[in-house]
C-alpha cells in the first residue's frame, strides 16, 4: 500500500505524534501529527488512519488575471475536500501569497475535525489562491475571484462543498462567488457560499461569529483556570476579521487588551488599548502601526507579553519550539487555524499553559455558516439574538464536552478535541460501510 501519510508536495517527511522538534514542521505535518496522536489513542488500524489522513478530492487550478494595466498574470489556486462522510464539504477560501497545496490540505483536514466536533453536518474543505489581495484593485479581485470560482465550479455546490471567507477574503468575495455560480446555474443559489452580505441572504452575526465564539471560549477558559476575566489581561495576534472583533468583544467583557499586532508589527499599552480608537486608526491607515494610544512593539514579542490570555488570530505555526518556553500567558485560545506546532504544544503543556485548540476555539464561524446555509436553503432568516444565543449554546456545550473528555483521560484539550472529532468521522465511515 502506498504510504499516503508520507506523500506531500512540499515535504516528504513523515512526522509521527512524537516528532522531536519543529525543524521540518509545516501545517500539514502538524495536522497529521495531531491526527496520528488521536488515532493512536483510539487504537485505529493503519487503513482507517490512512483514509482519515488523506483528502478525498483535490483540485489545482491555474487562474489567469487580466490586470487593469492590460498585463496578464497567472495565479495558482486549490480546493481540497478532505472528507464528506458526515455531509457536504465546508471551509473557507484564503487569498495569501504563500498559499500552497499542503497548507490547504492541512486546513481542510482541520475543517473536518471542527465540523465533527461541533456536530454540524459537514465534512471539511478549504480553498486557496496564491495571491496578495493588497496588491490588487477591487476590479482585479473581482475578475480573479470569478475565474477561480469558474475553475472550481465542477466540484462545489450547496450539497457538495460550500466555501466561506478566510484570510484575505470577505463578504464581497463571497458575493462574487455566489453570482458566478448562480449565473452558471441559471438561477440564484444562495446556499453555495456562506459569509455573504446580509442583503444577499447572509446571516445576522456571521461576520463576527468566529470572534464571538473565541470570546465565549476565552472567558470560560479564564474562569476554568481560576482567573476573573474582569481582572485579566490579553494580547491578540492579528487584527483582521477574527482578531479585531475578538479584541473588541474581550474588551467589552472587561478583559484589558494590552497588545495587538498585524503583519507589520504590534502596539502595546499596559493600561489597556482603546479598541474602538485602534479600529478607526486601522481603517484609516491599514495597520495598527502608528496608533497614538499605544507604544510600538516588535510583532514577535506580542506572543511573549506578560498577559493572562493570548489569542493568536493570524496564521499557522507562530507558537513553536523556539518561543513556547517564553510564553507568559496562562491560557491560549486559538483564533487562528494551526497557530501552535506539536512541539510547542508539548512545551506549553509541560509548563501548565492551557491551550484551547483551533477546532474548538474558532468554530463559531462555521457554526454560523451552518446557520446561514440552513436559513438560505429555507429562505427564512433568524434574528441576530437568535443566532447569537444558538452560537453561544453550541460553543459552551462543546467546551464542556471536550473538557470532560480531557479530564477523564488526562489528555490535552487538543488531543481530546481531535479524538472526539475523529471518532465521529470514523463512525460515519463505519456506518456508511466505507470502512469496517
Ligand atoms: N474568518 C473566519 O471566519 C475564520 C478564520 N479563521 C482563522 O483565523 C485566522 C485569521 O483569519 P481572518 O481574521 O479571517 O483573516 P484576515 O485576513 O481578516 O486577517 C488576518 C490578520 O492576520 C494578520 N497577520 C498576517 N500575518 C501575520 C503575522 N505574521 N503576524 C501578525 N499578524 C499577521 C493580518 O495582518 P494585516 O492586517 O497587516 O494583513 C491580519 O490582521 C486564520 O488562521 C483563519 O484561518 C478560523 C475560523 C474562521
Ligand atoms: O465558515 C466556514 O464555512 C468555514 C470557516 C473557516 O474556514 C474555518 O473555520 O477555518
Average pLDDT of span 382-400: 98
Q: Is 241 annotated as a binding residue?
A: no
Residue 5 pLDDT more than 60?
no
210 has binding-site annotation: yes
Q: Give the three cell numbers for residue 106.
A: 492541512
Beta bridge partners of 93: 127, 165
Say what the pTM is. Answer: 0.95
Average of per-residue pLDDT across 291-298: 98
Is the model's pLDDT at 12 over the cut of 50?
A: no
Q: What is the structure's pLDDT at 9?
A: 42
Using a 6 Å cutoff on CB, does residue 337 contact ligand 2? yes
- Centre of ligand 1 from the C-alpha of residue 146, in Å: 23
> Pocket of ligand 2, candidates 196, 207, 210, 315: which has the most ligand atoms within 8 Å of its Cβ, to mutate?
210
What is the pLDDT, as a whole number, of residue 434? 72
What is the average pLDDT across 195-202? 96
With a 6 Å cutoff on the Cβ, whether 196 touches ligand 2 is: no
User: 365 in ligand 2 pocket by Cβ < 6 Å?
Assistant: yes
196 is in an annotated binding site: no
Q: What's the pLDDT at 23?
A: 64
User: Of 17-26, 34-43, 160-169, 414-423, which gets the smallest average pLDDT?
Assistant: 17-26
354-356 β-sheet, strand order: 295-297, 265-268, 256-262, 233-237, 309-312, 331-333, 354-356
What spacing in Å lies between the alpha carbon of 58 and ligand 1's midpoint? 24
Distance 184 CA to ligand 1 centre (A): 31
Residue 3 pLDDT > 90: no
The pLDDT of residue 234 is 98
**Ligand 1 pocket, Cβ-based, cut-off 6 angstroms:** 165-168, 210, 237-243, 261-264, 287, 299, 313-315, 335-337, 362, 365
**The predicted structure's pLDDT at residue 2:** 39
According to the model, what pLDDT value does residue 376 have?
A: 87
Ligand closest in space to the Cα of 195: 2
Confidence of residue 20 (pLDDT cuts 50, 70, 90): very low
pLDDT band at 24, cuts 50/70/90?
A: confident
Supply the pLDDT for residue 16.
Answer: 35
Q: What is the mean pLDDT of residues 169-185?
A: 98
Cell of residue 250, nine digits: 474581550
**Cα 166 to ligand 1 centroid, rounded to whole Å:** 8
361 lines ligand 2 (CB under 6 A): no
At residue 19, does pLDDT exceed 90? no
Which one of 49, 94, 126, 248 is the catalytic residue?
126
Percent pLDDT > 90 in the chain is 92
CA distances from 227 to 38, 231, 334 (A): 30, 8, 18
> From the CB of 128, is ligand 2 less than 6 Å away?
no
Task: Pick the residue whose CA is nearest to atom 40 on ligand 1.
Answer: 240
Whose atoms come closest to the Cα of 367: which ligand?
2
pLDDT on residue 8 = 43
Residues, the chain, total? 436
Mean pLDDT over 338-342 rounds to 98
Active-site residue, 241 included: no
Which of the residue ranges 7-11, 188-192, 432-436 has the most confident prediction, judged by mean pLDDT?
Answer: 188-192
Q: Which domains does the chain have, with CATH numbers?
A: 55-188 (3.40.50.10860), 209-361 (3.40.50.720)
Q: In this predicted model, which residue has the larger pLDDT, 5 or 86? A: 86
Cell of 350: 509541560
What's the whole-number average pLDDT of the chain?
94
Indicate which ligand has the atom closest to the C-alpha of 366.
2
> How far is residue 91's CA from residue 160's CA, in Å, rounded to a whole number?
12
Amino acid at each position: 500500500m502506498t504510504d499516503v501519510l508520507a506523500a506531500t508536495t512540499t515535504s516528504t517527511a513523515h512526522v509521527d505524534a512524537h516528532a522531536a522538534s519543529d525543524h521540518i514542521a509545516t501545517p500539514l505535518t502538524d495536522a497529521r501529527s495531531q491526527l496520528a496522536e488521536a488515532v493512536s489513542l483510539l487504537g485505529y488500524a493503519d487503513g482507517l488512519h490512512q483514509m482519515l489522513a488523506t483528502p478525498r478530492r483535490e483540485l489545482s487550478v491555474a487562474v489567469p488575471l487580466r490586470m487593469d494595466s492590460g498585463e496578464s498574470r497567472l495565479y495558482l489556486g486549490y480546493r481540497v475536500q478532505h472528507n464528506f462522510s458526515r455531509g457536504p464539504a465546508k471551509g473557507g477560501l484564503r487569498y495569501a501569497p504563500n498559499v500552497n497545496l499542503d497548507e490547504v490540505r492541512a486546513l481542510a483536514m482541520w475543517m473536518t475535525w471542527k465540523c465533527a466536533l461541533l456536530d454540524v453536518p459537514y465534512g471539511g474543505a478549504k480553498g486557496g489562491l496564491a495571491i496578495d489581495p493588497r496588491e490588487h484593485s477591487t476590479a482585479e479581485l473581482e475578475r480573479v475571484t470569478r475565474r477561480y470560482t469558474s475553475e472550481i465550479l465542477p466540484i462545489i455546490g450547496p450539497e457538495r462543498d460550500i466555501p466561506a471567507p478566510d484570510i484575505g477574503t470577505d463578504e464581497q468575495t463571497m458575493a462574487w462567488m455566489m453570482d458566478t455560480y448562480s449565473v452558471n446555474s441559471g438561477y440564484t443559489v444562495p446556499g453555495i457560499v456562506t459569509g455573504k452580505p446580509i442583503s444577499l441572504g447572509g446571516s445576522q452575526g456571521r461576520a463576527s461569529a468566529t470572534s464571538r465564539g473565541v470570546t465565549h471560549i476565552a472567558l470560560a477558559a479564564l474562569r476554568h483556570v481560576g482567573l476573573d476575566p474582569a481582572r485579566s489581561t490579553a494580547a491578540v495576534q492579528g487584527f483582521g476579521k477574527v482578531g479585531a472583533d475578538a479584541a473588541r468583544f474581550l474588551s467589552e467583557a472587561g478583559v484589558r487588551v494590552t497588545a495587538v499586532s498585524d503583519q507589520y508589527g504590534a502596539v502595546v499599552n499596559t493600561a489597556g488599548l482603546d479598541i474602538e480608537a485602534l479600529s478607526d486608526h486601522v481603517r484609516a491607515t491599514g495597520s495598527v502601526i502608528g496608533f497614538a494610544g499605544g507604544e510600538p512593539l516588535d510583532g514577535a514579542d506580542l506572543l511573549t507579553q506578560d498577559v493572562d490570555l493570548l489569542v493568536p488570530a493570524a496564521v499557522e505555526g507562530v507558537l513553536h519550539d523556539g518561543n513556547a518556553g517564553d510564553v507568559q500567558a496562562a491560557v491560549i485560545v486559538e483564533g487562528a487555524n494551526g497557530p501552535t506546532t506539536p512541539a510547542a504544544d508539548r512545551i506549553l503543556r509541560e509548563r501548565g499553559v492551557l491551550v484551547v485548540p483551533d477546532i474548538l476555539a474558532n468554530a463559531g464561524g462555521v457554526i454560523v455558516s451552518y446557520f446561514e446555509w440552513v436559513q438560505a436553503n429555507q429562505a427564512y432568516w433568524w434574528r441576530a439574538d437568535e443566532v447569537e444565543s444558538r452560537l453561544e449554546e453550541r460553543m459552551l456545550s462543546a467546551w464542556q464536552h471536550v473538557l470532560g473528555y480531557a479530564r477523564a483521560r488526562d489528555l490535552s484539550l487538543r488531543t481530546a478535541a481531535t479524538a472526539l472529532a475523529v471518532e465521529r468521522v470514523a463512525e460515519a465511515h463505519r456506518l456508511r460501510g466505507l470502512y469496517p
